[in-house]
Copies of this chain bind each other. A is one copy, B any other.
Amino acid sequence: MALINENYLKLKAGYLFPEIGRRVKEFADANPDKKVIRMGIGDVTQPLTPTVLKAFHDGVEEMGAAATFRGYGPEQGYDFLREAIAKNAYQANGIDIKADDIIVSDGSKCDTGNIQEIFGSDNKIAICDPVYPVYADTTVMSGKTGECATNGYYSGIIYMPCTDANGFIPDLPSERPDLIFLCYPNNPTGTVASKEELAKWVKYAKENNSIILFDAAYEAFITEAGIPRSIYEIEGAKEVAIEFRSFSKTAGFTGTRCAFVVIPEELKAFDKAGNAHSVKKLWLRRHTTKFNGVSYPVQKAAAAVYSAEGQKEVNEVVAYYMENARIMRESLSAAGYPVFGGVNAPYIWVKTKGGMKSWDFFDKVLNEANVVGTPGSGFGPAGEGYFRFSAFADRASVIEAMERVKNLS
């Protein structure tokens, strides 16, 4: 009898974003005359930039001629892209990461989810609360947890609450984790970690033989000087951290699909007998067996992000979104909402008024202002009473949405 993976039965409700999609669709179908402004899913709205677009077309054109056609590429990505990433995203910033440490993929959601597969089910995982739901969901799927309690916490996961009280920066966990998910700039709270903060984690991971899974999908949105964009800016991080980065938000690739994982040679994990194993080698074994590389024209497009013109264009798009963030922060603040984030991240984290629950606020904002945001509780129990607005929108929509939210009853 074909048996299911019963860990799936432990998963609460649907994945957050499909649930938002369902409610929005229901509302839109019932109110075809209302113009819904979507600031829920953190999805970019600006098109690919000209330089990236040209490289994408060039890559497609190569696929149409026998002399330049490419079949299977290296599963871990073409050297031209891995080298462009290592040089521009790391070495140019004084960080010693080699092309060989870069493994290209089709998305950070995939990478942060799939990475669990190379680690045994006996590992204890620490995650922030609230945080991007994929970390917890894939921890459950991979059999590293027990059931979900009524408070929304899965037994076996070490939760690190991020609240108003600690400035949304988690304390070191009281129980020792084996794998620690950190996400900076943070999704959903928009907070960033200072060098000292990250150094604390690197030290902690070293002392405990833990591995940090560092999601830096939003590093391009850091505007303040001195805030680290990579965990490898911290001395010793190469021995304890995997970094996840993506072209999705940086260069508008949410529908184009390209990302990468950085796993330095130095990083080791252990078998139960205490023998050290190269994490990169394990990940490559998974990646080459269960993945077949990113579409060649997409890799060409991604490499163009690092050209001088590409960088200039992409930075302009990032600045456009961050100007949206500024407008939103100021409008929401003026409307009396306590506001966090939005300075070094494209997300504005808002406290609802009068202790309103997140999904109630979601429904209110959708029904009364026809604006879609993300309920904070969807990111974890400590997000209850909060709401995330995304700065990934057109300027006109941002201004209109803020006007409508300001006038909420």
> Bound state CA distance, A270 and B5, in angstroms?
9
Contact A5 B117 (CB under 8 A): yes
Query: Which range holds the interface residue count of chain A?
Result: 35 or more
Chain A 271-303 residues near chain B, CB threshold 8 A = 271-272, 277, 279, 282, 285-286, 288-298
- How many copies of this kind of chain does the complex include? 2
Contact A270 B64 (CB under 8 A): no
A106 at the interface (CB under 8 A from B): yes
Determine which of B57, B290, B296, B394 lies in contact with A114 in the assembled complex, contact meaning CB atoms within 8 Å.
Answer: B290
> Bound state CA distance, A382 and B332, in angstroms?
68
**Interfacial chain B residues near A270, Cβ < 8 Å:** 1-4
> Measured between C-beta atoms, what is the minimum distance from A95 to chain B in Å?
22
**Interfacial chain B residues near A45, Cβ < 8 Å:** 66, 69, 71
> Bound state CA distance, A286 and B9, in angstroms?
12
A137 at the interface (CB under 8 A from B): yes
Contact A256 B292 (CB under 8 A): no
Stretch with Cβ within 8 A of B (4 or more), from A48-56, A79-87, A401-409: A48-56
Contact B47 A289 (CB under 8 A): no
**Interfacial chain B residues near A294, Cβ < 8 Å:** 257
**Interfacial chain B residues near A53, Cβ < 8 Å:** 60-61, 63-64
> Measured between C-beta atoms, what is the minimum distance from A55 to chain B in Å?
10
Closest residue on chain B to residue A140 by CB atoms? B289
Contact B141 A286 (CB under 8 A): yes
> Bound state CA distance, A211 and B178, in angstroms?
36
**Interfacial chain B residues near A290, Cβ < 8 Å:** 109-110, 113-114, 134, 138, 141
A355 at the interface (CB under 8 A from B): no
Contact A70 B255 (CB under 8 A): yes
Residues of A bordering B, CB below 8 Å = 1-6, 8-9, 11, 15, 18, 41, 43-48, 50, 53, 56-57, 60-61, 63-66, 69-73, 106-107, 109-110, 113-114, 117-123, 134, 137-138, 141, 178-179, 208-211, 252, 254-257, 269-272, 277, 279, 282, 285-286, 288-298, 394
